[in-house]
């Protein structure tokens, strides 16, 4: 009988040295094949990732993430104290009531994990007695445990929290094609519209705005959706950002879209008109210093009062309820550098500033229903600009905070509405321009990045739409 391998025989009595030698070529071949398959898989995965990142994500990335999430869920819940219990956490020990952590905690259910183009979404079902706050606080722990860019926790649903898992930072990646340079073609001007609910109304021989015209797509959000500034949802917007953070670029993207629609654009640019001058052919008025701004804003206040009378006569609560033949064009007032309206150096300045800022505030208070909207941009918005600025801010429900240098401006822009967004805004990477934290109706707030239009693209968009600039009562178009 052939002797077994010393020390090996008791466990594998049939394995002899000769047999092992005869298997050796098969074992080596199997190992080589295995290594070759693994290498081929890695190379194929890398190629797929480069050539078709979306397919790679659905075929390889997401299944791996799913495994990681399932595998780490228990540890994550225990370490981040996300567990519940179905036993009492206090008990009687003799004459004492003793409180403690349950020995057998119950994990909340992580369910509905679905792949998305930007990463994944999932839902956590809470146990009775659990509140969403620890889950919001554990967002960073989840991102680390699952090796993803970020996890956003939406705690507005009852009894559950929804997770948005972002695979990578889509705002710093090169994937910009979605909206780059996408401006709508100008709408055909001859639309003869009759109002469906008012058949006695004369047909209108001019394009008539509809509420959908108020939405401008200005970039993309970190959840992969389009970033839309919609004046129908939030009638007025505040945009803050340090110099060179991307305010004008964002405004350009919005104007390029609104310019294609039957709307009036009014510029208030007290930096001598440097920022808004390229838009002049499409503007219905452009103020380049504070005195002009005060006049333009006063004329717009008179226009809102005229619209108010019109609505009252017709029993309409806003311009959208007026018949198309009577409906005035929506007006969007763009203020670039708010501080220039507020800061005063002399007594004469003070009266002028008061006139301009009071009219701006009146527009903010009256304008929404009357089709007058504000988009107000500034490098710094702080209480030192005067008490009026806080009153104005209260009317600007849409907020966009680009990279800013001082804490007060972040607080002023986001702190009153979205305290949890303040930190996100402070962490905006100065190296990547155009990133902002913005109001998002269904998500509360979200990070987003504007699309960049080159000066040539912007000029082309403005020239193509210059003929659509309406003349507003009491205002002279620039260059007229
Ligand atoms: N979304 C973006 N993508 C790429 N580049 C951008 C983006 N936004 C801004 N930039 C770059 O940053 C530069 C400065 O942007 P912009 O002029 O919009 O800043 P700003 O906030 O208006 O500055 P200022 O307060 O000095 O007027 C632009 O010329 C452009 O090169
Ligand atoms: Mg600017």
Q: Is the CB of 359 under 6 A from ligand 1?
A: no
Of the options 3.40.1390.30, 3.30.980.40, 3.40.605.10, 3.40.50.300, the CATH number for the domain spanning 51-85+102-166: 3.30.980.40
Q: Is the CB of 105 under 6 A from ligand 1?
A: no
Q: Which residues of 51-69 are buried (b: 16+ CB within 10 A; e: fewer)?
A: eebeebbeeebbeebbeeb
Instruction: Say which ligand is closest to the CA of 242.
Output: 1
Distances (CA, A) of 460 to 207, 256, 310, 347, 463: 21, 9, 36, 43, 5
Instruction: Say which ligand is closest to the CA of 336.
Output: 2
Nearest CA to ligand 1 atom 6: 433
Q: Is the CB of 380 under 6 A from ligand 1?
A: no
Least confident of 50-54, 205-209, 238-242, 335-339: 205-209
Confidence at residue 442, expressed as pLDDT on a 0 to 100 scale: 66
Is residue 382's pLDDT more than 90? no
Confidence of residue 18 (pLDDT cuts 50, 70, 90): confident
Nearest CA to ligand 1 atom 14: 244
Nearest CA to ligand 1 atom 2: 434
Q: Is the CB of 452 under 6 A from ligand 1?
A: yes
Is residue 203's pLDDT more than 60? no
Nearest atom of ligand 1 to the alpha carbon of 246: 18
Q: Is the CB of 244 under 6 A from ligand 1?
A: yes
Q: What is the mean pLDDT of residues 174-200?
A: 41
Nearest CA to ligand 1 atom 13: 244
**Topology (CATH level 3) of domain 211-468:** Rossmann fold (3.40.50)
Confidence at residue 304, expressed as pLDDT on a 0 to 100 scale: 95
* Contact (Cβ atoms closer than 8 angstroms) between residue 212 and residue 416: no
Is residue 297's pLDDT more than 90? yes
Is residue 168's pLDDT more than 60? yes
Residue 88's contacts (CB-CB under 8 Å, 6 or more residues apart) are none
Is residue 250's pLDDT more than 90? yes
Q: Is the CB of 167 under 6 A from ligand 1?
A: no
Is residue 239's pLDDT more than 50? yes
Nearest atom of ligand 1 to the alpha carbon of 451: 1
Nearest CA to ligand 1 atom 24: 243
Q: What is the mean pLDDT of residues 422-444?
A: 86
Nearest CA to ligand 1 atom 27: 243
Confidence at residue 479, expressed as pLDDT on a 0 to 100 scale: 73
Instruction: Say which ligand is closest to the CA of 405.
Output: 1
Q: How far apart are CA 360 and CA 157, in angstroms?
A: 38
* Contact (Cβ atoms closer than 8 angstroms) between residue 229 and residue 295: no
Kindly give the distance from the C-alpha atom of residue 241 to the centroid of ligand 1, in angstroms, as a whole number: 10
Q: Is the CB of 248 under 6 A from ligand 1?
A: yes
Q: How far apart are CA 237 and CA 393, in angstroms?
A: 9
Distances (CA, A) of 369 to 1, 133, 317, 468: 101, 37, 7, 23
Tokens of 160: 């559950």
Range list for CATH 3.40.50.300 in the chain: 211-468
Is residue 92's pLDDT more than 70? yes
Kindly give the distance from the C-alpha atom of residue 288 to the centroid of ligand 1, in angstroms, as a whole number: 20
Q: What is the mean pLDDT of residues 22-37?
A: 92
pLDDT averaged over every residue in the chain: 85
* Contact (Cβ atoms closer than 8 angstroms) between residue 414 and residue 421: yes
Q: What is the mean pLDDT of residues 194-220?
A: 69
* Contact (Cβ atoms closer than 8 angstroms) between residue 159 and residue 125: yes
Q: How far apart are CA 326 and CA 348, in angstroms?
A: 40
Is residue 169's pLDDT more than 70? yes
Q: Is the CB of 4 under 6 A from ligand 1?
A: no
Residue 128's contacts (CB-CB under 8 Å, 6 or more residues apart) are 84
Confidence of residue 128 (pLDDT cuts 50, 70, 90): confident
Q: How far apart are CA 127 and CA 109, in angstroms?
A: 9
Nearest atom of ligand 1 to the alpha carbon of 176: 3
Helix locations, 11-61, DSSP H: 17-51, 53-56
Range list for CATH 3.30.980.40 in the chain: 51-85+102-166
Kindly give the distance from the C-alpha atom of residue 118 to the centroid of ligand 2, in angstroms, as a whole number: 31
Nearest atom of ligand 1 to the alpha carbon of 219: 1
> In this predicted model, which residue has the larger pLDDT, 191 or 68?
68
Is residue 125's pLDDT more than 60? yes
What DSSP string describes 162-225?
A: EEEEESS-TTTSS--TTTTT--PPPPPTT--B--TT-TTSPPBSS----GGGGEEEEEEETTSS
Q: What is the mean pLDDT of residues 288-299?
A: 94
Distances (CA, A) of 233 to 116, 149, 154, 261, 373: 26, 30, 20, 18, 11
Is residue 342's pLDDT more than 60? yes
Nearest CA to ligand 1 atom 9: 246
Kindly give the distance from the C-alpha atom of residue 430 to the centroid of ligand 1, in angstroms, as a whole number: 11
Q: What is the mean pLDDT of residues 54-78?
A: 93
Q: Is the CB of 237 under 6 A from ligand 1?
A: no
Q: Which of 242, 352, 248 is nearest to 292 (CA)?
A: 352
Q: How far apart are CA 413 and CA 35, in angstroms?
A: 56
Confidence at residue 345, expressed as pLDDT on a 0 to 100 scale: 78
Is residue 257's pLDDT more than 80? yes
Least confident of 106-120, 183-197, 217-231, 425-439: 183-197
Nearest CA to ligand 1 atom 5: 433
């Amino acid at each position: 009988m052939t002797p077994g391998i010393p020390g090996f025989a008791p466990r594998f009595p049939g394995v002899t040295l000769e047999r092992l030698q005869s298997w050796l070529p098969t074992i080596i071949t199997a190992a080589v094949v295995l290594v070759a398959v693994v290498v081929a898989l890695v190379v194929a995965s890398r190629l797929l990732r480069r050539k078709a990142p979306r397919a790679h994500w659905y075929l390889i990335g997401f299944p791996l993430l799913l495994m990681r999430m399932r595998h780490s869920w228990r540890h994550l819940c225990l370490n981040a104290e996300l567990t519940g219990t179905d036993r009492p956490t206090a008990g009687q020990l003799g004459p004492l009531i003793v409180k403690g952590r349950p020995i057998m905690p119950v994990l909340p259910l992580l369910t509905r994990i679905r792949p998305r183009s930007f990463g994944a979404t999932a839902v956590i079902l809470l146990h009775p007695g659990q509140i969403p706050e620890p889950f919001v606080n554990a967002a960073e722990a989840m991102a680390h445990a699952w090796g993803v860019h970020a996890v956003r926790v939406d705690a507005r649903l009852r009894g559950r929290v929804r997770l948005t898992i972002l695979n990578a930072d889509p705002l710093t990646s090169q994937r910009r094609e979605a909206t780059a340079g996408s401006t709508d073609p100008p709408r055909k001007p001859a639309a003869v519209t009759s109002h469906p609910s008012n058949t006695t109304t004369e047909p209108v021989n001019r394009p008539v705005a509809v509420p959908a015209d108020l939405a401008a797509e200005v970039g993309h959000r970190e959840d992969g959706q389009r970033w839309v500034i919609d004046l129908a949802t939030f009638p007025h917007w505040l945009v803050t950002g340090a110099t060179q953070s991307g305010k004008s670029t964002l405004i350009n993207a919005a104007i390029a879209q609104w310019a294609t629609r039957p709307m009036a654009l009014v510029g208030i640019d007290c930096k001598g008109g440097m920022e808004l001058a390229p838009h002049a052919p499409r503007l219905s008025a452009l103020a380049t210093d504070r005195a002009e701004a005060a006049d333009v804003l006063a004329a717009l206040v008179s226009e809102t009062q005229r619209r108010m009378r019109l609505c009252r006569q017709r029993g309409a609560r806003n311009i959208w309820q007026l018949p198309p033949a009577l409906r005035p064009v929506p007006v969007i007032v763009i203020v670039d550098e708010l501080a220039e309206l507020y800061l005063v150096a002399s007594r004469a300045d003070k009266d002028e500033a008061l006139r301009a800022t009071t009219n701006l505030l009146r527009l903010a208070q009256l304008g929404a229903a009357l089709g007058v909207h504000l988009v107000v941009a500034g490098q710094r918005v702080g209480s030192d600009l005067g008490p009026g600025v806080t009153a104005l801010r209260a009317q600007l429900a849409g907020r966009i905070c680009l990279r800013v240098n001082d804490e007060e401006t972040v607080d002023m822009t986001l702190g009153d509405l979205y305290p949890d967004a303040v930190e996100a805004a402070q962490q905006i990477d100065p190296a990547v321009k155009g990133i902002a934290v913005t109001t998002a109706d269904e998500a509360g707030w979200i990070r987003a990045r504007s699309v960049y239009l080159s000066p040539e693209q912007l000029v082309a968009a403005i020239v193509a739409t210059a003929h659509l600039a309406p003349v507003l009562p009491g205002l002279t178009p620039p260059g007229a």
